[in-house]
Structure 1
Amino acid sequence: MTTHTAPAERMNHPHELEAEPFGDSALMLRVKHDDADFRRAAGSRLRDVLLEVRPYGVLDIVAGVESLLVEFDCLAVTHEQLAQTIRLAVAGNSLEPGALGASQSRFVIPMVVSEEFSPDLQSVAEELGLSPEAVLEQFQSSVLTINLLAAAMAPMMAGVRFPGQVSRCVEPRTNVEPGSVMVAGTSAIIQPFPGPSGWKVIGRTPLTICDIREDPATSYKPGDLMRFEVVPERDWSRLEGQFLRTASNGGAAPRGVGSDGPEGGSNDLP
């Protein structure tokens, strides 16, 4: 068994799907398109399609920002056979960003903004040429797509509707509190556990988004949608420590705590 990347023998599909052998037992999939937002959204949709179809021999699907790594049993299927199966699966399912998969969930995350919880809000506002209120307004109006789960299962999301890119901190913090809502570029992330980060902190959610005592440890996954909602600081004690769940997994969730999946109830997301 080799571990190096195999020569790039790219196999194009009418849907502009690129499947490239990656070692002996994996394929790297990318959706070819000029628009980065389209590539990310279509990549999330592709992951959803493959999870629904579960092609023979597939062992795992690992999401990247604009790619999917599909690991498979090389004794059960070859690169070419799996690539062809994936082509057929894509042919019968739209990769358009608006085509939602049956397993996609949507979340509304409460966020408290204060001097303690939002140390970088003012600097982000100055960098973007906006008021802090306008930054929060644009952030709350953004429907974000989870592209991948970063270190410690942190949801890395794309689609923040800022008028420009947000730079990272000149000096990264050595310890960022769990629940911190952070931005960089036009992406956002939530810190699940205490740890270092160079992203800029603009708020904090009182919810527990990752808990190893739960099964699974998170309610979200790549491809899911998130929106943030600023709530009064007085709501912190009521929501603090509650585990983020989907509305269809654990019953009706209080406003700001849960979400609306395909089987859930009403939802603020479009």
Structure 2
Amino acid sequence: MIVSLRYVPAGECALMIYAHAENPEECAAHLRGMLAALDAAPPPYLVDAIPTSDSILLLYDPLRTTGAEMETYVSRLALPAPAEQSASRLIELPVLYGGEAGVDLGRVAAMAGIEEAEVVWLHASTEYIVRFLGFMPGFPYLGPLPVPLQTPRHETPRTVVPAGSVAIAEDQTSIYPVTSPGGWNLIGRTPWRLFDVHENPPSLLLPGDRVRFNPVDEAEYSRIHFEILADRR
């Protein structure tokens, strides 16, 4: 795995690290390793580390260090071996596809030139990696998405997307953790709760986790949904 890094100052208290590789998943894996190394041995002047799929923004205390010193520290980190990184959690989420739960399933199928059932099969037969969290607390960016399913966002976002909605946009898939506006293509819904401020950590999915989607029917969806509601009481 060959990943090139580019360090760019981002103001007086931040350093942006861009990663590049022929395979985007190699970038994401390398950056996850870098985050793991920082978590294991954080310098005292590091304030926060904010990842995306191909970059990390490091915020530091400018009274205690400089961007150049931050770059030197990061460049000397001992990253975990790929085998260690691959030993991540596997989270399997039940999903009710189509109908009111997935109002854009037909759109995705039409743009791909395949049947709705094949969209479900392709989406559910793939194992995804949580590349990073963003947009809102607990919103996971998952990839890689099978090429036939890669669908552009809606030009006009919806004002309301229900919590638990499983969605597709470009080369990624995700789950809306809370009810919010959104422009992704909705293909299903999970009854699982992805974000809960009373849990530690509050986000069910974390960067590096592996995710699979298991299709369920309406009866099974309702059973799981009511079990979750009962557990909250």
TM-score, normalised via structure 2 length: 0.86
Partner residue, 2:110: 126
- Taking structure 1 as reference, are residues 35 and 114 closer, same or farther at Cα in structure 2, changes over 3 Å only? closer
CA-CA distance at 1:171 after TM superposition:
3.2
CA-CA distance at 1:216 after TM superposition:
2.7
- Taking structure 1 as reference, are residues 159 and 71 closer, same or farther at Cα in structure 2, changes over 3 Å only? same
1:48-80: CA deviation from partner (whole Å, max 9, x where unpaired):
232223234211111123110011122222222
Q: Which runs of 5+ in 2 are unaligned?
A: none
- Taking structure 1 as reference, are residues 223 and 231 closer, same or farther at Cα in structure 2, changes over 3 Å only? same
Structure 1 stretch 179-188 or stretch 59-68: which is displaced more?
59-68
Give SS of 1:160's match: coil
Q: Percent identity?
A: 27
Structure 1 segments of 4+ aligned residues over 6 angstroms from their partners: none
CA-CA distance at 1:31 after TM superposition:
1.8
Between Structure 1 and Structure 2, which shows a larger proportion of helix residues?
Answer: 2
Partner residue, 1:36: 24
Cα separation, 2, equivalents of 1:15 and 1:85? 18
Does the CA contact (< 8 Å) of 1:181 and 1:191 recur in 2? yes
Q: Does 1:156 align with 2:156?
A: no
Equivalent position amino acid for 2:202 in 1: A
The partner residue of 1:165 within 118, 128, 150 is 150
Cα separation, 2, equivalents of 1:47 and 1:217? 19
Q: Does 1:93 align with 2:79?
A: yes
Cα separation, 1, equivalents of 2:13 and 2:41? 19
CA-CA distance at 1:144 after TM superposition:
1.8
Partner residue, 1:259: none
Correspondence list, 1:70-149, <5 A: 70-89=58-77, 92-93=78-79, 99-100=84-85, 104-149=88-133
Q: Which runs of 5+ in 1 are unaligned?
A: 1-13, 244-270
Equivalent position amino acid for 1:141 in 2: S
Q: Does 1:63 align with 2:51?
A: yes
Between Structure 1 and Structure 2, which shows a larger proportion of strand residues?
Answer: 2
Give SS of 1:151's match: coil
The partner residue of 2:211 within 226, 229, 236 is 226
Does the CA contact (< 8 Å) of 1:55 and 1:86 recur in 2? no
